[in-house]
Amino acid sequence: KQTLLPLLREETSSFIFPCKPAVQRPELQYMVMELLRCIPLLLFLLFVCGLDHFIFSVLSIIQHHSFIEYSYQTSHHLSVNVMGTSLMAELLRGTIGALNTSFDTEVETSNLACLPRPTGMTRQQYLNTCLPLGALALLCLAQVYPFRLRRAIAAFYFPKREKTRVLFLYNKLLRQRKNFLHLQRGRVARQARQPPGLGTLLLHWCRRRWPWLRRFLRRRCTLCGTPETPRHQPCPNPDCNALYCESCW
């Protein structure tokens, strides 16, 4: 609870607050990893849709530019004339005359039956294909909220274990805060030993020269970097220009 241990700004970013609707930093890292796992599926889907469109385009070109139509016409006329009035002539006219034929042939054909008849996918079909992947991406974004219930469910069924976890977290925060203050004191001391840069000197000179510029040229907290507010505390040493926010002070 905040009344027991108020969290610093750096500590707040490492915890998950279930009542906050925004996605927080620990959840953001896990959510990004889940979204990265969807990239292979997206690439495979784009490859399949692109391959489908390419094959449809090739088959459509073959259908429109490979059509061939054949037209075949032929005529056949056979006539045998036997002259004379003798018995042999009559016999030949009765036998060979049966061979007299006459016919005309006209054939038209094409390779239409052999050509492909491709059918392209419509926009609705492409949309229906991409909907499962879109739903998967939305689930990756929305799964952080059901995951927040895991601690509450575990605390309901195992209250003693929850109390042990809270005490461990409390002691861990105390150790981290002690180490954090020790490291920050060393960092501020090293920063104070370095001579101020030209930009810093110019900024301080402008703030002293024109006080009305202070609302635009706001300084930041030396530790956490929050912009200057009326609650910020300056260092009491007149030779030090350090500024601290309320929590860091």
- pTM over 0.75, yes/no: no
Tens-place pLDDT, residues 165-189: 989 988 888 888 888 777 878 877 7
Buried b / exposed e over 137-172, threshold 16 CB at 10 Å, is: eeebeeebeeeeeeeeeeeeeeeeeeeeeeeeeeee
Q: What is the pLDDT, as a whole number, of residue 139? A: 92
Cβ(194)–Cβ(201) under 8 Å? no
Say whether pLDDT at 141 is over 80.
Answer: yes
Q: Residues 30, 112: one domain?
A: yes
The answer on 148 and 39 residing in a single domain is yes
Choose one of 157, 189, 214: the last residue of a domain. 157
**146 and 219 housed in the same domain:** no
Residues 235 and 136 in one domain: no
Distance CA 14, CA 177 (A): 13
Count the domains in the chain.
Answer: 2
Residues 40 and 151 in one domain: yes
Domain endpoint, select from 101, 131, 157: 157
**Inter-residue contact 177 to 7 (CB < 8 Å):** no
Residue 85 pLDDT > 70: yes
pLDDT range class, residue 197, cuts 50, 70, 90: low
Residue 28 lies in a domain: yes
Residue 138 sits in the same domain as residue 210: no
Residue 222 lies in a domain: yes
The domain of 47 spans 22-157
Mean pLDDT of 69-96: 78
Q: In the listed set 142, 157, 172, which residue is the last one of a domain according to the structure?
A: 157
Q: Is the pLDDT of residue 65 over 60?
A: yes
In a domain, 185, yes or no: no
Burial of 221 (0-12, 13-18, 19+ CB in 10 A): buried
> Beta-carbon neighbour count of residue 181 at 10 Å?
13
Give the bridge partners for 220, in sequence order. 227
234 and 129 in one domain?
no
Q: Are 243 and 234 in contact (CB under 8 A)?
A: yes
Task: Enumerate residues 6+ apart whose C-beta is below 8 A from 121.
Answer: 49, 52, 53, 56, 129
Decide if 129 is inside a domain: yes
Same domain for 73 and 132, yes or no, is yes
Asked if 231 and 206 count as a contact pair (C-beta separation under 8 A), the reply is: no
- Asked whether residue 187 is assigned to any structural domain, the reply reads no
Give me the pLDDT at residue 227, please: 76
